[in-house]
């Protein structure tokens, strides 16, 4: 069983051609793991994901101009103004961190903490 994000997500990370994008995503994945060591790690739907008691918490993916962060629709709705204040754009399901914009780790922490607490009694992978 992989104990570090670079091991758990190696298959995904190997496919990132840009070394700076790869390093940035690795840093974020390591930060999530270090900050929330009880979260599970897996690749699903072709993206690195963190889970809590087998329920989805957050996922990350890369694109040419940005990194996508997917915490589920209710979380986007709740944190939309903070996402915009951080300089990010969002859809109903995810927000985008441009490669040249700083990562707001405090916002990520708030989002992950919210999902862990809000889904504490959740018995399904996704919210119903």
Does domain 5-118 fall under CATH 3.90.1150.200? My reply is yes
Task: Give backbone dihedrals phi and psi of 119, rounded to 5 degrees, phi first.
Answer: -105, 15
Q: How far apart are CA 65 and CA 58, in angstroms?
A: 20
Higher pLDDT, 17 or 4: 17
pLDDT tier at 4, thresholds 50, 70, 90: confident
Domain spans in the chain, listed from the N-terminal domain onward: 5-118
DSSP secondary structure letters along 7-25: HHTHHHHTT---HHHHHHH
Arithmetic mean of pLDDT over the chain: 95
Q: How far apart are CA 48 and CA 24, in angstroms?
A: 14
Q: How far apart are CA 95 and CA 33, in angstroms?
A: 20
């Amino acid at each position: 069983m992989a104990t570090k994000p670079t091991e758990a997500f190696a298959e995904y990370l190997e496919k990132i051609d840009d070394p700076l994008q790869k390093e940035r995503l690795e840093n974020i994945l390591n930060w999530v793991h270090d900050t929330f060591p009880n979260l599970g790690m897996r690749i699903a739907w072709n993206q690195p994901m963190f889970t809590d008691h087998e329920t989805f918490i957050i996922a990350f993916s890369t694109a040419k101009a940005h990194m996508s962060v997917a915490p589920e629709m209710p979380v986007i709705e709740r944190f939309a103004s903070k996402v915009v204040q951080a300089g990010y754009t969002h859809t109903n399901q995810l927000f985008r961190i441009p490669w040249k914009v700083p990562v707001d780790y405090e916002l990520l922490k708030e989002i992950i903490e919210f999902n862990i607490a809000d889904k504490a009694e959740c018995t399904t992978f996704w919210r119903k």
